[in-house]
Structures are given as structure tokens and as C-alpha cells.
Amino acid sequence: MAADRTRILSGIQPTADSFHLGNYLGAVRQWVPLQDGHDTFYCVVDLHAITMGHEPDVLRARTRTAAAQLLAAGLDPARCSLFVQSHVPQHAELAWVLSCITGFGEASRMTQFKDKAAKQANPSVGLFTYPILQAADILLYQASAVPVGEDQRQHLELTRDLAQRFNARFGETFVVPEPYIVKETAKIVDLADPVAKMSKSADSQAGVVDILEDPASIRKKIKRAVTDTGTEIRFDPENKPGVSNLLTIAATLSGRSVAELEAAYDGKGYGALKTEVAEIVVEATAPLRERTQEWLDNPDRLDKVLAAGSARAREVAGRTLADVYDAVGFLLPRP
């Protein structure tokens, strides 16, 4: 892996039994082609996954399932470093240093914190500092681009601010990263409530399609997708969010353009569109399901991939953290 290739880092939380179409199309799918020509680090962020309360055994299982799905989706251990965040202690260590240059008011403005905290009886300090840990994930690897969904834009902005602030205060240490957000799929919406983004924390899972979901259930959810009272199949996210969402999903998974699909379904009605989209989703997710299961049936092989990825991650992260500790004036311990 040549050192001169641009660094890419992204992360996903192991907080569900499966990724859903929003995670997959909005972020994970972009990770695969970036493996060519870039030095890619992809991280299952288990430290982030304990910010809202969790079950230990469930977390452990979901961490493996998340990694298995990423491999099934096309991450190639020979071309990327796939690792688990808690295997690399530097994430928590850098997060502490960054938290000391983050303003309390600045952190208080994070809208994702406000949204998540509003749904909790007693939100944790960890949930509050979550974006700072995310900044550490990115800055440790000197990543210049971060492929994420639209909802992560504010966290990326904070990361850039912290990198610039640290560099100005303690000397050039961090690369200032750019978000990498693919417009077309940046926001997949809930099938049952097409004004809300598809989210695992939605009140009902009726509009959330998991990539590991069985075909019958996928078909049922797509057939019940909320559209509008019209009949016209037209891409118009403003006035026809439901129909537009179906077109986006179908276009991305089939590799056809939205215009082509509009033309193909012209005059056929929503029922036909839904049947067709359901088949496209079933066909696209079947191999993901199969390959994920293959990795899960072989946990030894999976854990070895993660061990190799985290060894490489610790090497890079260790170098950055040493620079940071030196820059902020920590006394080096005697060897």
C-alpha cells in the first residue's frame, strides 16, 4: 500500500443486526470503489456503539456481523484496512486531547446529539462527546476524504474545525479532511414515512429495509411503501418523495439511470413500479446475505482479517498520536 495514495477513512456503528438500505446506499457502497487508488481505512465503531446503552453479548455479535456485511459488500482485506475501533486504543486517547480544545457550546450545537438526547431519559456524556471521538477516528489516519451520508456533514465540519484549531495552536499535525458525499444517494428515506430519513431508530421498522432481511419481508415492505395519491411516475423529491425514493433505490441498485426508469414505468402505475423495485432489491441483497453468512460461519477467518486490519491501523494511529502528545507538551516516558 503506497504511502503517497490519498487516505480515506470511514466508520459505521455496530448497533443493529443488519445494515439497512439507507446505510448501504448512502455510505457503505461508496467505500468499495474507493479501495482502488486510495489508502482506505474502514472501521466498525464499537466505542460509539455504547453511547446509548447496549447489551454486551449483542454488541459483540453485531460487531462481527457489521464486519461480515462490509466484506460481503465488497471490502477486500488485501486492498483496505478493515478494523474494529476498540482494537486501536489511540482513538480514545486522541478523543481526550481533542475534547480539551472543543468548546462546550460548540459541542452543544451538534444537532444529532440534540435529536438522540431528546429520545433518551438520561443521555450520557459519551453521547455528548460522540462527535469528538468521531473527529479522532478521522484525524488519526490523516484522512483527506471521509465518505459518509448527508447526516454526518456537521460532524465533519467539527472535525475540520478541530484539526485547524489544533494545527494553529500546536503546529501542523493533522490533515484537514473533506466530506465525500454522493448526492444521488445521500439520503434514502423511510418507505412508510418518506419525509424522514431511513433510520434504525425510527418508531416503526415498516419503512426500513435491512440488507439481511428475507425476500418475503422485503417485498411486503416495498409493496406497502407510501407514495402519493397521483399516478404519475416522476422523480420529484419535493412533491413525490415516496416515488422518488423508490426510483433512487432502483436506479442505484440496478445501475440504470432515473430517467431511464421513469421512461420504462411511464403510465404503468405505482403497483408495477413497486413490484419491480422489490425484485431489484431482493436480487441485489441476496448475494450480500449469502456472503455475510459465509463470513459469520467462519468467525476465525473473520477475526484474522480484523486482526490484520487493526495491526495496520495501530501503526498509522500510533504515529499520529505520538506527534500529538509531543505537540501538546506531554513529557515522553523514559523507554
Nearest CB to ligand TRP, comparing residues 138 and 225: 138
Catalytic option among 114, 183, 187, 200: 200
- Closest residue by Cα to residue 281 from 15, 20, 18, 14: 20
**Residue window 206-235: x/- pattern of binding to ligand TRP, with contact defined by CB under 6 A:** ------------------------------
Under the binding rule (CB under 6 A), the answer on residue 162 touching ligand TRP is: no
When binding is defined by CB under 6 A, the residue of 7, 8, 13, 179 that contacts ligand TRP is: 13
Give the shortest CB-45-to-ligand TRP separation in angstroms: 4
Whether residue 304 lies in the annotated active site: no
Count of residues interacting with ligand TRP (CB under 6 A): 14
- Evaluate whether 98 touches 136 at the Cβ level (below 8 Å): yes
Are 242 and 227 within 8 A, CB to CB?
yes
Please say whether the dihedral angle defined by the alpha carbons of residues 69, 72, 75 and 79, taken in this order, is positive or negative: positive
Give the x-and-dash track for 46-85 against ligand TRP (CB under 6 A): --x-------------------------------------
Cell 500529538 belongs to 324
Take residue 210 and report the three cell numbers written for it.
435491512
Name residues whose C-beta falls within 8 Å of residue 90's C-beta, 6 or more positions apart in sequence: 136, 140, 314, 317, 318, 320, 321
Applying the rule CB under 6 A, the residues between 19 and 48 that interact with ligand TRP are 45, 48
Closer Cβ to ligand TRP, 63 or 227, answer by number: 63
Q: Are 241 and 249 in contact (CB under 8 A)?
A: no
Interface segment toward ligand TRP; rule CB under 6 A; list 134-142, 178-186, 300-308, 320-328: 134-142
Give whichever of 131 and 207 is closer to ligand TRP, judged by the CB atom.
131
Q: Please select the residue that binds ligand TRP; options are 94, 138, 249, 278, rule is CB under 6 A.
A: 138
Interface with ligand TRP (CB under 6 A), residue from 95, 146, 225, 261: 146
Catalytic residue check, 116: yes
C-beta of 137 vs 210, nearer to ligand TRP: 137
Q: Does 88 bind ligand TRP (CB under 6 A)?
A: no
Given strand 178-180, what is the order of strands in its sheet? 80-84, 39-44, 7-12, 145-147, 178-180
| Residue 152 within binding range of ligand TRP, rule CB under 6 A | yes
Are 80 and 40 a contacting pair, CB within 8 Å? Answer: yes
Helix count (H) and strand count (E) of the chain?
A: 13, 5
How many Å apart are CA 305 and CA 307, to the nearest integer?
Answer: 5
11/207 with CB nearer ligand TRP: 11
Residue ranges in 140-268 assigned as alpha helix (H): 153-170, 215-223, 241-254, 258-265
**Residues contributing to the site for ligand TRP (CB under 6 A):** 9-13, 45, 48, 134, 137-138, 146, 148, 152, 155
**Hey, which residues are catalytic here?**
116, 197, 200
